A and B are shown apart, each in its own frame.
Chain A
Amino acid sequence: MSEPISALNGAVYNQGIAEVTALDPIGMISIRGDLAAGYLKKPLKKITGVAMPDMRGINLDGGTGVAWMSPDELLLICPYADVATNLETLHKAIGTNHALAVNVSDARAVFRVTGKHTREVLAKLAPVDTSPEAFTPGTIRRTRLAQVPAAFWMVDTDTAELVCFRSVAQYVFDLLKTAAQPGSQVNYHRG
């Protein structure tokens, strides 16, 4: 079988005020349906072990978890190699019910931004209050980065992970590099 390769094949930018890394592909399964239904909650608990996230929440344990995307949409995050098995578990549980689970892993690119200026690198690109008080680990924000859709969450207080469409991976990497260029710190969140 061919090896999964990310859009930017592990590109790294570390000359700026935050380090930007294009991560290896991760598994992502988009789920739509009645989020309170047992045929979604039960297989998700079995696969991830984490609790169902509240509105705008993301519950991750290691590389596996669930993110709340909209009132009828979740994103299951898991290792890339586990997607087929997890999809089968979901499809079995859903049966003939009106719900959808589909593999979107190859439609996406994933980045990590880390460093003490991570929050302001994101704030330069998205209409989001990224202050440590407002944007805490455990919440996911679907928004735009300049001109394209993206979603990001804080892994810890100085590290964010970010997903966007694979077709705009280079654009997003370039945006993040520009927002993180040397000498561009604003120090807004740090007085």
Chain B
Amino acid sequence: MLILTCPNCGITAEETEFHAGGEAHLTRHGPGASDDDFEKYLFMRENPKGVHFERWRHVYGCGKWFHAARDTMTLEIFGTYTAQTSTIPQDIIDKISDRRPDWQPPETA
């Protein structure tokens, strides 16, 4: 069971009040992109055992989207942050680094 805090309304609730929206920080290759880039955007996803970044929606609450950083193995939530960013905020990176000293931030767009 995941306990998430929505940064849009401040509610902390368990995951059934939310809806998972898949991997975060994808680069959206559009018209004119190469077939390889377009395939990567449409189909290729990370499936890590450990630190992962996801989009979530507070579907039964305020209705807004946000980002979450969590560990797929321990279900630890490192933090949630605004959906209005394509990069991972430094304070989230710092929190993860505190907990997982060997972890390296991914390259995001």
Contact = CB atoms under 8 A, between A and B. Distances in A.
A71 B62 contact: yes
A149 B60 contact: yes
A127 interface: yes
Contacts of A69: 62
Contacts of B10: 55-56
B58 to A, nearest CB: 8
Interface string A68-102: 01110100000000000000000000000000000
Contacts, number: 35
Interface in A9-55: 55
Contact of B17 (A55, A56, A127): A127
Interface residues of A, number: 13
A142 interface: yes
Give the dominant DSSP class at B's interface. loop
Interface in A119-165: 127-128, 141-144, 149
A56 B11 CA distance: 9
Interface string B55-80: 00000111110000000000000000
B8 A144 contact: no
Contacts of B62: 69-71, 73, 142
A151 to B, nearest CB: 9
Contacts of A144: 16-17, 60
A34 to B, nearest CB: 15
Contacts of B8: 70-71
Contact of B60 (A56, A73, A143): A143
Contact of A71 (B11, B16, B60, B64): B64
Contacts of B60: 142-144, 149
A70 B66 CA distance: 13
26 contacts: A55-B9, A55-B10, A56-B9, A56-B11, A69-B62, A70-B8, A70-B9, A70-B62, A70-B63, A71-B8, A71-B9, A71-B62, A71-B64, A73-B63, A127-B16, A127-B17, A128-B13, A141-B11, A142-B60, A142-B61, A143-B13, A143-B17, A143-B60, A143-B61, A144-B17, A144-B60
Given A70-B9, A143-B17, A143-B61, 7 more contacts: A71-B8, A71-B9, A127-B14, A127-B16, A141-B11, A142-B9, A142-B62
